[in-house]
Chain A
C-alpha cells in the first residue's frame, strides 16, 4: 500500500503511454459498470433507479478518471496518478460483500467502507507529486494506515454478528475472539475519529502551503479549499443521520453529500493541471522576448514565466571566478534546501545561473531548460551587460582604493615628518642653545646635537626615497632594484635586464618588487628570495619568489591589493601564488606598448 521510497526516478515516476492511459480508462469504466451490476448478485433488494443520483455518480467517476489520466500522463504527478488508480480500486472493495462468500463478506464489511478514505488521506498529504516530502508527513500517513488496518483486523476477529438472518447471515469465519461490547464501543468511537483524521490531514496541507512557493501554492489551493468543504458536509451528514433528524433533512442532505463527492476529484484535477500549467508560459515568453526586453528586465520576465517571484539570475564574473547579478554586483549562490541552482550552458560555456524554488523543477521538469533555450539571446545580452557592469564596478572600487592609498601615504609622510625629522631638528636646536649657554659639558651637547642632525638627515633621505627613488628615474629599474636589494635583510638573487622602460612601467615594476620584498621580510620567514624581470613579447614580466612560509592572501592583504590596483592601472596583471608551506611567487605582467 505504502509506495516504496524509490530512488528519485523510479518506475512509479514514468509517465504512462497511450496504451497505459487506455488501460486505466478501461479499468475505471469496468469497475464502474461492476458497481452498477454487482448489487443484483446479492440477496438484498436493489434500490430503485434514481436518474439524478446516477448522473452525479457518473460525473464523479468521470472526474476521477480525468484527474487520474492527467496525473499519470506526465511527470511529476505520475506517482499521484498511481494513488488515484488505487483509490478507484479500493472504492469497490465493499461491493465484494455481494458475492455471498462469508470470508469475503466480512473482509469487505470491515475494510470496504473506510479504505478509500484512507488512500484519499494519503493522496492529499502527498499532493501534488504523490511523494511524502518529510518525516512528519510519512509519520502521519503511516499512523493512519496502522490505525485503520490494526483496528480493522481487531474488529474482524472480535465481530460475531447476531442479527436476524435476513436475507443473508453468514458466520464470521475470522471471529476467534468475539466480544459484542467491544464492537459496540468501537462503532461508537469511529465516527469521531474520521473528522480528527480529516483535520490532521488539513493541517498537513496547510503546513505544505505555508512552506510552498507561489508555484506550488497554485496547485495546492483547490485541494485546500475542497477538502475542508467535503469533510464538513460528510461529518455533518453523518451526525445528522445518527440523530435521525427526519426525512426533510434526508431529502436535502443526500444530494448535498453526493454533490460533495465531486469536490475532491474536481480539486485534484484542477490542482494537477495547475501544477504544470506553467509550460504554456514558454510561448508567451517567446512573444515577449520577441518584442524586446530592456537590459536588466530579464529576471522579472523569467520569474513571471516560471511563476517563481523569488527567481534570481546570475552570470559568471568577468574575472572567471564567482558570479555576478544582472547589476554586476557580486552574487553568492545559495546552498541548502529551499533553493535550487540551475546552471544554463551553451556550447560548454556557462551562460547563466538560475536560482529558483525547487518546485519549479519538480512540478515541471525541463521547463527551466525550455525557458532558458527560448531566452538564450536575451540571456547572452544580459550576461554581457552584467559582466561590463561588474568590470566597471571593479574599476570604480580600484580607483577608490588608489585614492585611499594616496591619502594613507600622505598621512604617513606627514607623520614621519612630524615625529621624525621635525622632533630631531627641534631637539637639535635646543641642544645647541644649551651648549651655548653652558660652560661645562658643551662638548657632549654638541656631539649629541651632531648625532641628532645626522639622524634627521638620514630620516629625510629615507622618506624622500620612499616617495620616489631618484635612482629609478636616473639609472633605471635594474639599479633601483639592486639598491633595494642591498637594503633588504634577506639575501636576494637578481636577474634583471639592463634596459630602460617607460617611466610608468619602471615605477610600477619597482613598487611591485619593493612591496613584495617588504612582505618577504615581514611575513615570509624566507632564507632567500629571487627577483627576476624578463621581456616576453612586448611585455615585462616581473617575478618575486621566496622560499618562505607561503599562505599570503592577495584579497585580504591591503598591500597586495594595492599592488594589483597599481598593476591594473598599467593594464597589467598581478598574480600571487602562495601555497601554505611552499613559498610565495608574486608575478606582474606589464604590457610595454
Chain B
C-alpha cells in the first residue's frame, strides 16, 4: 500500500512529553518518519501546515481543558485538508467519540485507545491503515458497541463467526483484512458478510468505509 522507498511522514501531537517521545521513538522504530511534534492544538495545526504530513497522530486530551481537544483538532485539520488521514489516540472507551469522529467521512480516520499503543505493532498497523485511507476503530470500542445491552436484537441471530466478522467490519477492516485476520478464504468472508448484512437488514455496500459507517450507525442505534 505504501512505497517502501519513501517512509510515511507523521506529525504527532501529545502534551505529555514522555509519552510523546516514546511514541515518536516507537513510530521511528516501526519505519515511520516523524516530521513534527506538538504539545497543543495550535502547535499541531502549525506543524501540519508546515510539514503537510501523510498522517497525523493526535492525543484526544490536550490543553487547555484536557478533555477532547484532539477530536476538535482532527475536525479542524479535516476542514482545512479534506481526506487527510488522522489517527486519534484516546483514553476514553466512549463509542460516541469514535462514531462522532468518523461520522462525516470515515475514510482515513482512526480512533485508537491509548493502551493499545503499548503494542507497537498495533500502533504501526493502525497508522499504516489510516494512511492508506482505511478506517480504524479500536477493538475495545467495537466490543463495547457489540456488547451493549439490547432488549431484542438482530445480533442474536448471528452465528459466532458472523459476529466476529461484524466486529472486524466495525473496526474498519476490509474483506481482505478480515480474511487475513481470521485465516479464511476471501470468498468465505464475502459470503459471511452478505449473511450479516441480510440478517441485520442493512443495504450491502462495496465501499469499505461506507460499510464501517453503516455498521457503526447500526450498532449505536440499536
A residues in contact (CB < 8 Å) with B: 415, 418-419, 422-427, 429-431, 433-434, 437-438, 452
Q: List 25 A-B contacts (CB under 8 A).
A: A415-B66, A419-B61, A419-B66, A422-B91, A423-B18, A424-B18, A424-B19, A425-B118, A426-B114, A426-B117, A427-B16, A427-B18, A427-B21, A429-B118, A429-B119, A430-B23, A430-B117, A430-B118, A431-B25, A433-B26, A433-B118, A433-B120, A434-B120, A437-B29, A438-B29
* B115 contacts chain A at the CB level, 8 A cutoff: yes
* Pairwise interchain contact B118-A426, C-beta atoms closer than 8 A: yes
A-facing residues in B134-188 (Cβ within 8 Å): none
Contacts known (A422-B91, A423-B16); A430 close to B66, Cβ less than 8 A: no
Determine the residue in chain B with the shortest Cβ distance to A455.
B18
* Pairwise interchain contact A437-B22, C-beta atoms closer than 8 A: no
B residues in contact (CB < 8 Å) with A: 16, 18-19, 21-23, 25-26, 29, 61, 66, 91, 114-115, 117-120
Cβ-defined partner of A434 (8 Å) among B16, B29, B61: B29
Contacts known (A422-B114, A430-B23); A452 close to B18, Cβ less than 8 A: yes
* Pairwise interchain contact A418-B61, C-beta atoms closer than 8 A: yes
The 10 A-B residue pairs with the shortest CB-CB distance in the complex, in nearest-first order: A429-B118, A427-B22, A423-B16, A430-B22, A427-B19, A423-B19, A430-B26, A427-B18, A433-B120, A426-B118
Query: Which one of B22, B114, B115 has the greatest number of beta carbons of chain A within 10 Å?
Result: B22
A424-B18, A434-B26 are known; give 14 further A-B pairs, CB within 8 A.
A415-B66, A419-B16, A419-B66, A422-B91, A423-B16, A427-B18, A427-B21, A427-B22, A429-B118, A430-B23, A430-B117, A433-B118, A433-B120, A437-B29
How far, in whole Å, are A438 and B25 apart by their CA atoms in the complex? Answer: 12
How far, in whole Å, are A373 and B18 apart by their CA atoms in the complex? Answer: 76
How far, in whole Å, are A173 and B71 apart by their CA atoms in the complex? Answer: 105
A381 to chain B, nearest CB (A): 51
Determine the residue in chain A with the shortest Cβ distance to B67.
A415
List chain B residues, Cβ under 8 A from A418. Answer: 61, 66, 91
* Pairwise interchain contact B66-A426, C-beta atoms closer than 8 A: no
List chain A residues, Cβ under 8 A from B114. Answer: 422, 426
How far, in whole Å, are A437 and B29 apart by their CA atoms in the complex? Answer: 9
How far, in whole Å, are A513 and B61 apart by their CA atoms in the complex? Answer: 34
Determine the residue in chain B with the shortest Cβ distance to A431.
B22
Determine the residue in chain A with the shortest Cβ distance to B18.
A427
Query: Which one of B19, B26, B115, B119 has the greatest number of beta carbons of chain A within 10 Å?
Result: B19
Determine the residue in chain A with the shortest Cβ distance to B28.
A434
How far, in whole Å, are A422 and B118 apart by their CA atoms in the complex? Answer: 11
List chain A residues, Cβ under 8 A from B66. Answer: 415, 418-419
List chain A residues, Cβ under 8 A from B119. Answer: 429, 433
How far, in whole Å, are A433 and B29 apart by their CA atoms in the complex? Answer: 11
How far, in whole Å, are A426 and B25 apart by their CA atoms in the complex? Answer: 13
Chain A interface mostly: helix
How far, in whole Å, are A426 and B91 apart by their CA atoms in the complex? Answer: 11
How far, in whole Å, are A23 and B115 apart by their CA atoms in the complex? Answer: 106
How far, in whole Å, are A426 and B19 apart by their CA atoms in the complex? Answer: 7
* Pairwise interchain contact B61-A430, C-beta atoms closer than 8 A: no
Determine the residue in chain B with the shortest Cβ distance to A422.
B91
* Pairwise interchain contact B120-A426, C-beta atoms closer than 8 A: no
Determine the residue in chain A with the shortest Cβ distance to B20.
A427
List chain B residues, Cβ under 8 A from A429. Answer: 118-119
B68 to chain A, nearest CB (A): 12
How far, in whole Å, are A434 and B118 apart by their CA atoms in the complex? Answer: 10
* Pairwise interchain contact A426-B115, C-beta atoms closer than 8 A: yes
List chain A residues, Cβ under 8 A from B22. Answer: 426-427, 430-431
A410 to chain B, nearest CB (A): 14
List chain B residues, Cβ under 8 A from A437. Answer: 29, 120
Determine the residue in chain A with the shortest Cβ distance to B118.
A429
A313 to chain B, nearest CB (A): 46
How far, in whole Å, are A422 and B61 apart by their CA atoms in the complex? Answer: 13
How far, in whole Å, are A430 and B120 apart by their CA atoms in the complex? Answer: 7
List chain B residues, Cβ under 8 A from A415. Answer: 66
How far, in whole Å, are A426 and B16 apart by their CA atoms in the complex? Answer: 11
B30 to chain A, nearest CB (A): 9
How far, in whole Å, are A89 and B49 apart by their CA atoms in the complex? Answer: 98
How far, in whole Å, are A180 and B84 apart by their CA atoms in the complex? Answer: 106
Determine the residue in chain A with the shortest Cβ distance to B26.
A430
A180 to chain B, nearest CB (A): 93
How far, in whole Å, are A167 and B216 apart by their CA atoms in the complex? Answer: 123
B105 to chain A, nearest CB (A): 29
Determine the residue in chain A with the shortest Cβ distance to B114.
A426
List chain B residues, Cβ under 8 A from A419. Answer: 16, 61, 66
List chain B residues, Cβ under 8 A from A431. Answer: 22, 25
Query: Which one of A427, A429, A438 has the greatest number of beta carbons of chain B within 10 Å?
Result: A427
How far, in whole Å, are A425 and B91 apart by their CA atoms in the complex? Answer: 13
B19 to chain A, nearest CB (A): 5
Determine the residue in chain A with the shortest Cβ distance to B23.
A430
* Pairwise interchain contact A430-B16, C-beta atoms closer than 8 A: no
List chain A residues, Cβ under 8 A from B25. Answer: 430-431, 434
List chain A residues, Cβ under 8 A from B117. Answer: 426, 430
Determine the residue in chain B with the shortest Cβ distance to A438.
B29
How far, in whole Å, are A351 and B188 apart by their CA atoms in the complex? Answer: 91
List chain A residues, Cβ under 8 A from B118. Answer: 425-426, 429-430, 433
List chain A residues, Cβ under 8 A from B18. Answer: 423-424, 427, 452
How far, in whole Å, are A425 and B61 apart by their CA atoms in the complex? Answer: 16
How far, in whole Å, are A362 and B66 apart by their CA atoms in the complex? Answer: 63
How far, in whole Å, are A422 and B91 apart by their CA atoms in the complex? Answer: 9
A210 to chain B, nearest CB (A): 54
How far, in whole Å, are A518 and B136 apart by their CA atoms in the complex? Answer: 46
List chain A residues, Cβ under 8 A from B29. Answer: 434, 437-438
Determine the residue in chain A with the shortest Cβ distance to B29.
A434
How far, in whole Å, are A418 and B15 apart by their CA atoms in the complex? Answer: 12
How far, in whole Å, are A53 and B88 apart by their CA atoms in the complex? Answer: 106
How far, in whole Å, are A479 and B49 apart by their CA atoms in the complex? Answer: 57
How far, in whole Å, are A423 and B26 apart by their CA atoms in the complex? Answer: 15
A402 to chain B, nearest CB (A): 24
A407 to chain B, nearest CB (A): 15
Determine the residue in chain A with the shortest Cβ distance to B115.
A426
Determine the residue in chain B with the shortest Cβ distance to A432.
B118
Query: Which one of A426, A431, A434, A437 has the greatest number of beta carbons of chain B within 10 Å?
Result: A426
B37 to chain A, nearest CB (A): 14
Determine the residue in chain A with the shortest Cβ distance to B66.
A415
B1 to chain A, nearest CB (A): 22
Determine the residue in chain A with the shortest Cβ distance to B92.
A418
How far, in whole Å, are A419 and B66 apart by their CA atoms in the complex? Answer: 9
B14 to chain A, nearest CB (A): 8
